[in-house]
Amino acid sequence: MAAPLDTVDAIRASFVTREQSASDLVEAALARIAGANGVLGAILTVATDRARARAASLDRAADRDAVGPLAGVPVAIKDNICTAGIRTTAGSRILDGFVPPYDATAVARLERAGAIIVGKTNCDEFAMGSSNEHSAYGPVRNPWDQSRTPGGSSGGSAAAVAARLVPVALGSDTGGSVRQPAGFCGCVGVRPTYGRVSRSGLIAFASSLDQVGVLALTARDAARVLAVVAGADALDSTAATLSVPDWPAALTGDIRGCRVGVARHLLDDGVSREVREATLAAIEVMRARGAVVSDVTLAHAHLSIPVYYLIATAEASSNLARYDGVRYGFRAADARDLRAMYERTRDEGFGAEVKRRIMLGTFVLSAGYREAYYVK
């Protein structure tokens, strides 16, 4: 098995100085995936042909330093983010065999920066789940302990980074689906502010909550990737028009005077002793390095889960209505009429968790209940 990949800066430097070619870097990543993915289940589709063609193109560049800030870096993309010519299933049978004709904006920006797409990562179906056990293509296993979950729904991306299959990966976060698997797998996960990264090409779960995020081995790697994918986009009217700061340059390590709010009341119920102790230890490290630590109270935090489940499921029931067997993806065979085709396609194509959320969302939007739940 090939040696583990290093950080983004080290990989780019090895490519720019011609110590390694992009083809060398891609073959190392493909070897890592071949050696570990059978156990982990982190990668659903290996983009071998696209990765090799892209690497060969980069190797022909006369000035490698001009290729971009991610020159030669292999990356993986969550399977609910569209990639032209590469199967994109969102972890669902209903999209089995779907091949998008275009790249998501975030994917296109990665490639313009010199990155190389090597695979699509496993995820909970339509990003609905917190354990990566709800994929139609099998679970993802935590690389640190294969009897445990990597978290979800971006568990495939987190596991791929933690196992050193790739140094960075894109995920999506609707209610914690980048942050939670990053925590479970011991890597860095960043869910940007809504609108900071274009959602064009991200298969919708809950449109007002979904956001493309980054998983990486280090904060600096995450900052470099975020600086590439962030920014305004004519294809997404919700993308912020704010300028993109130089986040990597801000990572000096000096946090003196930085204000850190700690919601200690959220560490009480439902938090294991080990997690609580690790969190409190991290707070003390920040305090020792000069940060100003203050306790804060989030008075409405107890309402966040019920509000999330109302908004997210309502939007999911609307967004997933398009999967009916007519335009793309799976279609049930031998249906006697159009209605039966709709019913059987959705019954056979969607998994249990997706069906539960569609039904809950339809309920809270239905006549007689919309005012009592959704509008409230």
Catalytic sites, residue numbers? 78, 153, 177
Token look-up 């993806």 returns 329
CB-CB contact of 205 with 319 (8 Å): yes
Distance CA 141, CA 156 (A): 8
- 141 contacts 175 by C-beta, under 8 angstroms: no
Phi then psi dihedrals of residue 369, to 5 deg: -120, -20
Sort strands 43-46 and 116-121 into parallel, antiparallel or unpaired: antiparallel
Residues 247-275: b if buried by 16+ CB within 10 A, e if exposed: bbeeeeeeeeeeeeebeeeeeeeeeeeee
Tokens of 72: 């030669």
The Cα 75–Cα 254 span in angstroms is 29
Residues 6 or more apart from 84 whose CB is under 8 A from it? 100, 101, 102, 103
Alpha helices in the chain (DSSP H): 8-16, 22-40, 48-59, 105-112, 155-162, 179-185, 219-229, 247-250, 273-288, 304-319, 338-349, 352-365
CA distance 115 to 289: 35
